Structure 1
Amino acid sequence: MVSDDAYIAHRLHLLGEWDAALAALGPDAEPELRAEIAVDRWFFRVEGHEEAEKAVAALDPASPAAHLLTARLAYSRLLFRHEPRADDRAVAEAGYRATVENGDEMQRGWAEYHWAVLLDNIDEDPAGALPRYETALEIATRSGDGYFESYIIRHLAPHKEPAERIAMLRRSLHLRAALGARPQTIAAQALLADNLPASDPERAELIRTFRPGAEELRIGWLLSEN
C-alpha cells in the first residue's frame, strides 16, 4: 500500500515541484522514490547533482533501481557536458544492461529506452538505438503505460518521416498533458514547436505557451534551445 507521503510526493513530482516532493517524503522515507525525484530534478534543472548522487548511493547497489539511476546520472553528465567522468559512457551502458538482465518488466523497459537514448544521443548510432526503442515501446503498449509511451515516441519521432513524426510528437504531448506531467508536457510542447514550420501559427502558440512554464520550473535547457 502506498503511504500518504509517497502519494503526495508522487503527485508533486508529476507537477515538477521537485523540492516540495522531496520535502514531503522526509529524509529517510521511500528511498527509491526519493532517488528518482532527485535524479529527475537534476535532469530538468541541471542542479542538485550531488544530492541526486547521494540519494542513489543510499539504495542497495545491486538493485535494478540503483543500476538504472546510476546509469541515468552518468548519461546526463555526458549529455550536459557537466563534469563528465572518464568512465561515464561505460557506467551508463553497464547500468542499463544490468537492469535489463535483472529488473522486472517495467524496469527492463525503461532500461531499454534509456539505453537507446544513450546510443542515439551520445553515440549517434540510430541503427543500434531503434531496436531498443521498439522493445521498450512493446512493453509500454502491453502494459498500457501512457507516461512511458510518451517518452519513447518522443525519441522515436525524429527517425520517422515528417507526417508520422509530427503525429508521434502530438501524441506524446497529449499523453503527458492527460496525465498531468507538467515538466514533460512543457518539454513536449517545445519539441513539437521546434518541428513545425516557422510560419505555422501553432508553432508560435506553442512557444508562447511553454516558455512561461519552463521559466517557472527553471528548465534552463529548454529556454536555451528555443
Structure 2
Amino acid sequence: MIADNAYVARRLQMSGEWDAALAALGPDVEPELRAEIAVDRWFFQMEGHEEAEKAVAALDPASPIAHLLTARLAYSRLLFQRDPRTDDRAVAEAGYRAAVETGDEKQRAWAEYHWAVLLDNIDEDPAGALPLYETALEVATKYGDGYFESYIIRHLAPHKEPAERMSMLRRSLHLRAALGARPQAIAAQALLAENLPAGDPERAELTRTFRPGAEELRIGWLRPED
C-alpha cells in the first residue's frame, strides 16, 4: 500500500498537484518523497516554505537527499528574494558539496547540476557552472533520463549560440511534455517564448498557452504581478 501511495503521489507531483500528492502520502509515510514534494511545491508556488523546511528537517541530516534539499531551499530563498538568510549562499554550496560527496552516481549528478545553477544564477559565474552542467548531462545521457536532461539543457541553452540554444530549449520542452511533467513543461514554454523574437507568432501562441496553466498551478514566478 505504501508503494502504491508513493506512486500516486509521484504522478500527482508531476502534474503539479502538490497538495494532493502530499495528501496521498499521508503523515509519516515516505519522508524523503514528502520532503521532495514539499520543496518542489515551494519552488514553483513560492508557498509552504515552513512546511517544506519541516519536512527536510525530519530527514536524516547526513543523508544525500537532506543535503540536497536543504541546499535547494537556501538557493530558492536567494533566487526569489523571499526572506533570504545571511548564510544562504554558504548553506547552498555546502549542501551541494556534501550531496556530491555522499550520494550515488545520479544523486551526485543532480547535486552537481544544482550547484551549477547556483554558480550560474546567483554568482553569475558561467565558467564555474559549465563543467558541472556538462558532467551532469553525461550522467543523464548515460541513464537515458530525459527528465533530468530537460533540466540540464534548459540551463545550458543560454550559454550556446542561437541555433543550438533554441534546439536545446525545444528539446527540453518536448521531453517534459512527453513525460507528463506539467509544471516543468509550462516553464519550458515560457522560456522558449522569451527567447523568440517579439513579433514571432509562435511566441504569442506559447504565451497564450502557458499563462492559463501557470495560473491554474499557481506557479509564482510565471504569474503576472498584482
| TM beyond 0.5 | yes
Are the aligned partners of 2:176 and 2:184 in contact in 1 as well (CA < 8 Å)?
A: yes
Deviations 1:34-72 (A, max 9, x none): 000000000000000000000000000000000000000
Q: How many Å separate the matches in 2 of 1:3 and 1:26?
A: 12
Aligned 1:198-213 pairs, distance under 5 A: 198-213=198-213
Give ranges in structure 2 of 5+ residues lacking alignment: none
Aligned 1:39-188 pairs, distance under 5 A: 39-188=39-188
Q: How many Å separate the matches in 2 of 1:2 and 1:26?
A: 9
139-148 or 216-225, which deviates more: 216-225
Aligned: 1:195 with 2:192 = no
Q: What's the TM-score once normalised by structure 1's chain length?
A: 0.98
Q: How many Å separate the matches in 1 of 2:221 and 2:93?
A: 24
Q: 1:61 and 1:11, CA in 2 relative to 1: closer, same or farther beyond 3 A?
A: same
Query: Secondary structure, in 3 states, of the residue corresponding to 2:221?
Result: helix
Percent identity at matched positions? 86
Q: How many Å separate the matches in 1 of 2:160 and 2:206?
A: 22
Deviations 1:47-102 (A, max 9, x none): 00000000000000000000000000000000011111111100100000011111
How large is the RMSD of aligned CA atoms in angstroms?
1.1
Query: Secondary structure, in 3 states, of the residue corresponding to 2:223?
Result: helix
Give ranges in structure 1 of 5+ residues lacking alignment: none
Give the CA deviation at 1:2. Answer: 7.0
Give the count of matched residue pairs: 225
Aligned: 1:27 with 2:27 = yes
78-87 or 174-183, which deviates more: 78-87
Aligned amino acid, residue 24 of structure 1: A
Q: How many Å separate the matches in 2 of 1:160 and 1:191?
A: 15
Q: How many Å separate the matches in 2 of 1:2 and 1:196?
A: 45
* Paired position in structure 2 for 1:9: 9
Query: Secondary structure, in 3 states, of the residue corresponding to 1:152?
Result: helix
